[in-house]
Amino acid sequence: MADGNQAYPTNQPHQEMQRQNEQPPLFLPQGVGQNKAPTPASNGPFQPSGAFHTGAHWRPLTALPQSSPNMNGFPAQHLQQSRMPITNPAPQPPPHVYQTPNLQQRPPGQVSYPPPSVQPAGSFMNGPGNTNIRPSATSNFPPSVGFAPPPRAGYGMAPPQSGNQAVGSPQPPPPSQSLGQPPSSLPYSVGVQGSAGDGQQSRPNELPMPFHGQGQYSHQVNPLQQRTPITTPTNSEPSSERSSRGPSPVSGSTIDALEGQFSPGHGVAKSPTSSQGPRMPPVATGTFSPPLQGHLPAQSMGQPVFLPPPPRPGFPLIPPQSALPPSQQQLPGQLGQRLPPPPTSGFSPMGQPSGPPGAQPRFSHPPLPSTARGFPPPPSSSTVPNAFPPPSVPPFAPPPSSGSVSPPMAGAGTGSLPPPLRGSMPGTQPPLPPLPGSQYSSMPPAGLPPSYQYGQPGPQQPGVGMNAVTQNLGAMGIQESQRVVNLLTERQLIPPEGIETAKPVLPNDLKKVNCNPDVFRCTLNALPQNSALLSKARLPLGILIHPFRDLSQLPVIQSSVIVRCRSCRTYINPFVVFVDQRRWKCNLCFRVNDLPDEFSFDPVTKTYGDPQRRPEVKSATIEFIAPSEYMLRPPQPAVYLYLLDVSFNAVETGYLSQFSQILLDELDKLPGDARTSIGFLCYDSSLYFFNLAENLSQPQMLCVPDLEDAFLPCPDNLLVNLHESKELIVDLLNQLPNLFQGNLETGSALGAALQAAHKLMSLTGGRITVMQTCLPTAGPGALQNRDAGNIAGKNTSIIGPATDFYKKLSLDCSAQQIAVDLFMLNGQYADIATLSCISKYSAGSVYYYPSFHTVKNPGLVDKFDTDLRRYLTRKIGFESVMRIRCTRGLSIHTFHGNFFVRSTDLLSLPNINPDAGFGMQMSIEDNLVDSSTVSFQAALLYTSSKGERRIRVHTLCVPVTNQISEVFAGADQQAIIALLAKMAVDKSLNSSITDARDAMMNASLDALVSFSQQIPASQRVGAFLAPYSLRLVPVFILAMLKHVAFNLSGNTKIDDRVFAMQQCKVLPVSYLLQYLHPHLYPLHRLSDEKPIKCGKEEIPSAPLLQLSSANIDRTGLFLMDAGEAMYLLVGSGIGDQMCQDVFGKPNFMSVPEGMMDLPELENPTSERIRNFVNYLMDSRPYGVTFLVIRDDSKHRQLFFQHMLEDRAENSMSYYEFLQFLQGKTKV
């Protein structure tokens, strides 16, 4: 790295500095990029030049003879001479060579060398994990991606530790890079992309322990072993259980150095007015307001002035609080009320601190104030309206009420309750502050006033803390977000237009630029100011992110300077504060940084001006084309290797012809550039390699029967350049379906095939695609049938991996930047719980097609076709890492998704795809009093398929509050359910499914009980109250309890359950919610009043119905959209005209059983219904099976099993579930 990337000196050593200084200098392994002599433990034995190997032989492609299940006894032919020298060759079994009259065979002894472009670039380190190997004296190959030199000796990794440094005391110098020169002819370029490594200082506060003290990350080697209550480890050197056994081409420390975790980098400009001098105090601007009475006086000019920041609109300054902390402040007459104790079985309470080993000491200097850009001074307390002022934008319309709304009853007016104390926290035990217009949606039982408000109105009270946040309530609106719902009487919980998306309540200027909730969202859109308030609310705190989502508008910046915070390495974003034209304040650590001169250049107008016009501060999602400082070697090419099961079961399914045809169709659309490489490896109880060298006239196949010591024959020609060998690839795909016809071998050597694939791709990285149709039974990684029927509620070893073979191999793949994607097409038990580990830890994906057969199950074939075509052509990022940063005072303690955790906030993702979602649980370590908002930033560093190193940055801003009423009003019920589903999967693996079910019920119960405690006891009689923002939590919890992932049905197949759990972990929020709680539409009620706009076309819409049989009419058509499957129920009383228009049949009895598509008929009704169904299918990134079910069909249960509000086998109805929860509150 350049000198500008040095860290700051400090008087106190830090653990991060010590840890990095302990790392040896980074060097390339000897011989990278050259042909090395492989060892028997790596690439297997090869004969020296001039000798012929007798263990395996090339042959032209031909069909396997049916009379030889083991494929033995064929005449031996000479194997191609290897160019790779080796010593001590090991003896091999007899060869297996096959002749074919129509394919040419290489003459014995002929040696051909592949073109240079076919040779894979030896660009990755290949040495023992966390060990740096010195390069040879003659090696000129550049170092690996992600590598950077460690900081200079004596330079620390964190800001100065002293908060009271005198004027002139040593201060961190600015970077040595000079940015005063004018930019080049075009220093920046901005573009919009069509359809579509980071670090943070660790903190000393102890982290909460997920799941009753089982302080582990969400994926572990041995999740079922007994664990003691320990803290979540935060060191970047994971334990042996979670670390890779193989060499890591991108070590944790060097990823930090690459992404700039411990060094400023070129994005940090040196002060234009000083050099190596002490940091100057912020310059006071004309809009800075004098401090209010009670705040700290201004300090001397020798150091920063620590004053409360001027607020943004709608965020008043916090007036002096009472002496008691918020958790201890009480109202008169309410001292005796307490919340019920936490449940005995459930998720651990959020926000309870515990301690990570090896954490760094807390910053000792006082935080810099959070300032705003030109905002007026805060209103005086006398001008603040009563607790919750009216919103500034129109709210959502409330859902239909099941009862009439009456005027307020006597006693509900002003003055009925004593006013709360100034500085207290309304909602501790007494009623909440008055909310104008907050009403019940219906008359509650036991005489509750229909117009009862969320806390009775009282005398006017000055704005305290974040009360004024509700002036800009945004999309939710005061009447919706603060409304109280009686769950026992409210029937219309889901609005006909769908569930609203909760958004943080921010001033208009910030709300417009905040991150899209479909990309980045928090479970709480009003963050509690301290952990005590979070514990009181009993709501889970976490974030959910869809980082590589396809976006229609994505600003792309190409610049030689990427501006980042000198302290925490945060990327500049819309929520930073510009102190003046040359300095900006970080919104995560509050440090004031210098702006480089180039940042004032506007890439759109090509002129210099206001830095706030830059795209980086106008969009919360942005992508940088990384400059050369972010890569120390050429980016890796796109490399694709396909592992195909060709055993007897695989051939019987017919998938080979389907796969070959799809790949032929999409071959030119594979993401990549001129360097793209491709290869194929087939396997049953043997391995079949394919030589696709450019100079051959036909492909050649080699059979390797030795599974215990599999080697790579002629490795230079097994992965070939796609464009140079395209004719041979097309020829192979055309012959592949018939090549293994009649194969009687039933064994499957998946483990050996994966080991060979790992050896083949270890120097390049890339993506391995596996097609598996049965349980692996041969060679390394062979598995036994563990299907023992229903195990729900008993020990859960069967839903965990049977062996760590695939996990260890996955970690080795991750170390070499290889991801493995698994397509399961099994008809019987295949132990997905074990096999999925190969994808889980390498950031891959798992696809599941139970009972796949091209003839017997055509509906699943269509889904496979859609999924595979998107999989082959969708965007992909290689050798990626993602780091999550958050405002000081917050920390991440648990991750959910498919990845490998390198450190407390760094995820290793060998591949990243646009369909992958992630979740993180968080805790509050310190009081969030430095700012009225907190921010989260996710930075994804990846290599595009075109060979560009890019950084995609998402920043989310959320307001902070000290009022529990605002915490509940800002709760995002969809994000909460998505996070609870991920937590429940971990609970199932670590304990049992029964405990996971109890934990989910307790989680919903805790939140509702905590909320109801804010309502006077006399007004809770006979009601089960919930805030409008959490009204759907019970119905979603019930949906999860009935879902295949967590139900107690004895008919659930193990593979079905395990795959459902995998989906809960990786699906983004919107797709996960539909997977758990399907959508029900009455297609006979399509309307054009509120059409759906799809480009230039308008599609009729249908209202969303509750999942209850009471909404089913025998005279209608009802579509159940369950995410991966759609069921169209035809009522037995449907009209003849409707049957004719939709199905082309005269009446109901003529509608055929098992229709898998709607006929294209030329009438308006058919076109409208087909357009609506096609719109739903096209709105998701995966295929959908479609089935028409008659009301009298034997498949009727497929539709009605999704009626989650009905009573079913061993499960309660929704109303019974509410009564059950209400009974628990009394206990």
- What's the CA gap between 877 and 940, in Å, rounded? 10
The kind and range of the H/E element at 863 are helix 858-873
> In the chain, what percentage of residues exceed pLDDT 70?
60
The half-sphere exposure of 997 on its side-chain side, counting CA atoms within 13 A, is 17
**C-alpha dist (Å) from residue 609 to 186, 285, 372, 603, 618:** 15, 18, 20, 11, 15
Q: Closest Cα to residue 877, out of 915, 904, 848? A: 915
Q: Is the per-residue pLDDT at 864 higher than 70?
A: yes
Q: Are 689 and 702 in contact (CB under 8 A)?
A: yes
Predicted confidence at residue 346, as pLDDT, reads: 56
- What's the CA gap between 227 and 546, in Å, rounded? 32
Predicted confidence at residue 1020, as pLDDT, reads: 81
Confidence of residue 514 (pLDDT cuts 50, 70, 90): very high
Model pLDDT for residues 278-314, shown as the tens digit of each residue:
333 333 333 333 333 333 333 333 333 333 334 444 4
- What's the CA gap between 1223 and 212, in Å, rounded? 25
382-391, 541-550, 610-619, range with greatest mean pLDDT? 541-550
Model pLDDT for residues 950-963, shown as the tens digit of each residue:
999 999 999 999 99
**C-alpha dist (Å) from residue 1188 to 93, 845, 849, 1202:** 55, 30, 20, 15
Assigned token pair, 1110 = 């009471």
**C-alpha dist (Å) from residue 307 to 362, 370, 564, 587, 927:** 21, 9, 24, 16, 17
Predicted confidence at residue 794, as pLDDT, reads: 56
Model pLDDT for residues 326-336, shown as the tens digit of each residue:
333 333 333 33
Mean pLDDT for the stretch of residues 426-446: 36
Q: Is the per-residue pLDDT at 522 higher than 80?
A: yes
Predicted confidence at residue 780, as pLDDT, reads: 93
Model pLDDT for residues 630-640, shown as the tens digit of each residue:
776 788 899 99
- What's the CA gap between 83 and 35, in Å, rounded? 9
Q: Are 824 and 830 in contact (CB under 8 A)?
A: yes
Residue with tokens 């009420």: 401
Predicted confidence at residue 278, as pLDDT, reads: 37
Q: Is the per-residue pLDDT at 838 higher than 90?
A: yes
Q: Is the per-residue pLDDT at 651 higher than 60?
A: yes
Q: Are 705 and 686 in contact (CB under 8 A)?
A: yes
- What's the CA gap between 424 and 321, in Å, rounded? 7
Predicted confidence at residue 795, as pLDDT, reads: 54
Contacts of 1069 (CB under 8 A, 6+ apart): 518, 521, 544, 546, 917, 974, 975, 978
Select the more confidently predicted residue: 275 or 1179. Answer: 1179
Residue with tokens 């943004």: 312
**C-alpha dist (Å) from residue 546 to 119, 370, 882, 1178:** 36, 29, 12, 19
Q: Is the pTM of this model over 0.85?
A: no
Select the more confidently predicted residue: 57 or 472. Answer: 57
Confidence of residue 61 (pLDDT cuts 50, 70, 90): low
Contacts of 248 (CB under 8 A, 6+ apart): 125, 129, 130, 815
Q: Is the per-residue pLDDT at 210 higher than 70?
A: no
133-147, 431-445, 695-709, range with greatest mean pLDDT? 695-709
Angle at 86 between CA 84 and CA 89, to 5 degrees: 125
Predicted confidence at residue 58, as pLDDT, reads: 54
Q: Is the per-residue pLDDT at 381 higher than 70?
A: no
Amino acid, single-letter form, for residue 201: Q
Q: Is the per-residue pLDDT at 730 higher than 70?
A: yes
Looking at the DSSP assignment, which residues form a beta bridge with residue 964?
A: none
How many residues in total does the chain contain? 1227
Q: What single DSSP character describes residue 1019?
A: G
Mean pLDDT for the stretch of residues 251-276: 42
- What's the CA gap between 815 and 254, in Å, rounded? 13
What is the average pLDDT score of the chain? 71
Q: Is the per-residue pLDDT at 391 higher than 90?
A: no
**Torsion angle of the four alpha carbons 1219, 1223, 1224, 1227, in this order, in degrees rounded to the nearest 10:** 180
Angle at 208 between CA 204 and CA 209, to 5 degrees: 125
Predicted confidence at residue 20, as pLDDT, reads: 38
- What's the CA gap between 1068 and 978, in Å, rounded? 8
Select the more confidently predicted residue: 1067 or 706. Answer: 1067
The half-sphere exposure of 637 on its side-chain side, counting CA atoms within 13 A, is 23
Model pLDDT for residues 949-1008, shown as the tens digit of each residue:
999 999 999 999 999 999 999 999 999 999 999 999 999 999 999 999 999 999 999 999
Predicted confidence at residue 899, as pLDDT, reads: 92
Q: Could you tell me where the DSSP H helices lie in 490-556?
A: 508-511, 531-537
Predicted confidence at residue 480, as pLDDT, reads: 64
**Domains recognised in the chain with CATH numbers:** 189-267+546-632+877-961 (2.60.40.1670), 639-873 (3.40.50.410), 1078-1200 (3.40.20.10)
Q: Closest Cα to residue 772, out of 793, 794, 748? A: 748
Predicted confidence at residue 232, as pLDDT, reads: 32
Mean pLDDT for the stretch of residues 709-714: 80
Model pLDDT for residues 887-946, shown as the tens digit of each residue:
999 999 999 999 999 887 889 999 999 999 999 999 999 999 888 999 999 999 999 999
**Torsion angle of the four alpha carbons 176, 180, 183, 184, in this order, in degrees rounded to the nearest 10:** -70
Angle at 427 between CA 424 and CA 428, to 5 degrees: 70
Q: Which residues of 158-192 are buried (b: 16+ CB within 10 A; e: fewer)?
A: bbbbeeebeeeeebbbbbebebeeebeeebbebee
The kind and range of the H/E element at 995 are helix 993-1012
Q: Within its chain, how far is the Cα of 281 from the centroid? A: 40
Predicted confidence at residue 593, as pLDDT, reads: 95
